[in-house]
């Protein structure tokens, strides 16, 4: 069932699995504000029965990053250019960037697990979109790169937090400040990729992972995801307390005992 198909974004739902496809292969799925609005809308349209959200890109590249029109004086038709944004007030600038970030935030909702199927280039905003997901399955031709710094900018589409969490501060700084490519072998070694497979096996590997995730009871996965997502911000004792509370909820639910 197709729920959305516009601005280079297609959302389909098959039972408990939703697939969001970047569908602008001719431009290597380059991103734009219109695409970001469509991605945010896709998140709002997910039925409550969906447990897995798969993000993929059509063609040879997952996403080559921000459409180069963003760096021209005129920008995109009907959109504020970078120059327009720079001339606005602090509050206007903050609100514009916050709206762009909405496309990248819903993937970590605790009621679902998101999987990025990444092949070819995942550059800049494309890298950050892959980082927005909980898990990444990568083809052997994958090439991650964070090019914002080389353009005089910073990664601002929510990618810095998960990147540091996955690879650590020092390596994240080196990757971002140099803008170099991270290839498949390194991505697997440093924790960027949960799994690296031949390109022709990417879809099957994602399907297998989705099936394995669905096999566990939904509420147990939701509670576990919330526990793990909050662990970094808690002390050891706070995490112990959170574990006890979560387990209490699960035991009462399994026993049919109300709180």
How many Cα atoms within 13 Å fall on the side-chain side of residue 131?
29
Instruction: Give yes or no for residue 73 having a pLDDT over 80.
Output: no
Query: Cα 139–144–149 angle (5° rounding)?
Result: 170
pLDDT band at 84 (very low <50, low <70, confident <90, very high): confident
Instruction: Look up residue 183 and give its two tokens.
Output: 């290839």
pLDDT single digits (tens) 187-200: 999 999 999 999 99
Distance from C-alpha of 244 to C-alpha of 203, rounded to nearest angstrom: 37
Cα–Cα distance, 242 to 239 (Å, whole number): 5
Locate tokens 């459409």: which residue?
67
Q: How do residues 212-239 score in pLDDT, each as one tens digit?
A: 999 999 999 999 999 999 999 999 999 9
Q: Are 112 and 106 in contact (CB under 8 A)?
A: no
Q: What is the tens place of the pLDDT at every residue in 127-179?
A: 999 999 999 999 999 999 999 999 999 999 999 999 999 999 999 999 999 99
In three-state form (DSSP H/G/I as H, E/B as E, the rest C), the secondary structure along 114-158 is: EEEEECCEEECHHHHHHHHCCEEEEECCCEEECCCHHHCCCCCCC
């Amino acid at each position: 069932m197709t729920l959305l198909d516009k601005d280079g974004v297609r959302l389909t739902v098959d039972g408990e699995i939703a697939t969001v496809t970047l569908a602008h292969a001719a431009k290597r799925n380059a991103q734009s504000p219109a695409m970001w609005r469509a991605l945010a809308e896709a998140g709002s349209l997910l039925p409550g029965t969906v447990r897995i959200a798969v993000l993929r890109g059509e063609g040879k590249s997952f996403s080559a990053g921000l459409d180069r029109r963003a760096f021209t004086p005129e920008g995109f038709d009907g959109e504020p250019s970078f120059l327009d944004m720079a001339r606005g007030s602090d509050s206007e600038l903050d609100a514009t960037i916050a709206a762009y970030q909405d496309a990248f935030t819903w993937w970590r909702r605790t009621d679902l697990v998101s999987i990025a199927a990444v092949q070819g280039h995942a550059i800049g905003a494309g890298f950050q979109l892959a980082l927005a997901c909980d898990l990444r399955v990568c083809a052997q031709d994958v090439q991650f790169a964070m090019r914002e710094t080389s353009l005089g900018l910073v990664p601002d589409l929510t990618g810095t937090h998960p990147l540091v969490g996955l690879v650590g501060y020092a390596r994240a700084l080196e990757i971002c400040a140099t803008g170099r490519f991270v290839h498949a072998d390194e991505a697997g070694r440093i924790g960027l990729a949960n799994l690296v497979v031949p390109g022709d096996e990417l879809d099957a590997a994602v399907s297998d992972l989705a099936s394995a995730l669905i096999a566990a009871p939904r509420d147990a996965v939701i509670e576990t995801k919330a526990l793990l997502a909050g662990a970094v911000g808690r002390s050891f004792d706070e995490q112990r307390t959170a574990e006890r509370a979560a387990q209490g909820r699960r035991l009462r639910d399994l026993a049919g005992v109300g709180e």
